[in-house]
Structure 1
Amino acid sequence: MKQQNLELIYVWDAYCGWCHGFSNSLKEFHENHPELPLSVLSGGLFFSQPIGNFPHIPEANQRIHQLTGAEFGPAYQSLLEDGTFVMDSQKAAIGFAALRSLAPDSTYYFASAMQQAFYHDGKSLSDPETYREIAAANGLDPEAVVAQMVDEAFKKEALSDFAKVRQLGVNGYPTLLLKKGKELIAFGGAAMNAEKLEARFESFTS
């Protein structure tokens, strides 16, 4: 399989704990293979739902930490204990689309920064200030990002991501797909580490 015919598609959700756990593994694999184009699509997991409606989350986070080493910061833990914080994947997808439009080659890093903001710093991914900070940290114009978040075109782009994910048949996050032409191969996700991703990749390219 020739590598120039390959690309990666990463399907994630900003409020998905397993995506947070998978983040470092994908980062390491992605940086080891800069020759592979990487597209990142937002999925829709939670829509205006209080985090307290999902009592399984603390136990799931413990398992994510055990299997991947991912950390969950004290500010996030406070949100979890309070239970009233509202998760809205659509608003997060709009913010992600706004960041992505200004630096398409950095999409994965924006996804990682968003999850860092939520899972470490307890910041809302519906709050424009969160995106101002991410934009500034990545050399983007913070006001341009915030302006795009209220532009109807970016709501449509977020909904387009959701539609693309459905077309791909993906219903769980994180999902990493390897694309060869029109062929899609389930490649990785959840607790897979970088070494397992590398071994799987070699099995397809050797």
Structure 2
Amino acid sequence: MSKDTMRLYHVYDPMCAWCWGYKPTWLQLESALKGRLEIVYLVGGLAPDTDVSMPMEMRHQIASYWNKIESLLGTQFNHDFWSSNTPRRSTYPACRAMLCARLQGAEKEMLSAVQQAYYLQARNPSDLSTLIELAGEIGLNTEQFERDLGSSEIEQTLMQELRFARSIGGNSFPSLFIVKGESIIELPIDYKDADATLSQIEQVLGKF
């Protein structure tokens, strides 16, 4: 691919509640841009690996985000997650799962599976067992998926992707950037109106 190719980068984290809230609007935007602009998904790496359970104060804080997103956007959450799991502040495993699914051509399917498991089914995507189950549920080769999940190649890809996302300004999620050559344009996230973002993208396309 030429460095002068124009791309829309969607920086997301599979366990970011705001990404879940943005999903319906993002899907509308993505559909409207199909065939007009190359869209590239980048995992965000919200929280690194840990086996330590989430402190109660943090649980309450994140649960409050869920309530806020529900109130603002009408997004559905299953709050049983907090009582039926031992939450950990760890999204790197889910990010690796996206990269493993990408190798099998199913990143978007895996993203949907993880989001639905986490936010609707009260399952914990910080657990490798959950990720492997989800890979099987969407029809991936689970032996390959599990092998890739623990591989040095996927770890290297994850670190490279996080560095690139940060280099264009992707420090919060979701984030959108149009990149062509050395030009980087960040688009504001409108959680409710895909048309507003589409108009901004069309303005940018008209300038190049």
SS in 2 for 1:177: strand
Output the TM-score relative to the length of structure 2: 0.82
Contact 1:16 1:173 in 2 (8 A): yes
Identity %: 22
Contact 1:26 1:194 in 2 (8 A): yes
Aligned to 2:25: 25
2:56 partner amino acid: G
Partner Cα separation in structure 1 for residue 203 and residue 185 of structure 2: 12
Contact 2:176 2:186 in 1 (8 A): yes
Partner Cα separation in structure 1 for residue 184 and residue 108 of structure 2: 20
Aligned: 1:50 with 2:54 = yes
Aligned to 1:37: 38
2:157 partner amino acid: E
SS in 1 for 2:80: helix
> Which runs of at least 4 in structure 1 moved beyond 4 Å after TM superposition?
none
Cα deviation, residue 155, structure 1: 1.5
Partner Cα separation in structure 2 for residue 108 and residue 53 of structure 1: 32
Partner Cα separation in structure 2 for residue 25 and residue 110 of structure 1: 19
Output the TM-score relative to the length of structure 1: 0.83
Contact 1:67 1:191 in 2 (8 A): no
Query: Cα RMSD (Å) of the superposition?
Result: 2.5
Aligned to 2:103: 101
Correspondence list, 1:57-206, <5 A? 57-73=62-78, 77-81=79-83, 84-103=86-105, 106-189=106-189, 191-206=191-206
Cα deviation, residue 183, structure 1: 1.3
Aligned pairs, how many?
A: 198
Contact 2:109 2:138 in 1 (8 A): no
Long gaps (5+) in structure 2: none
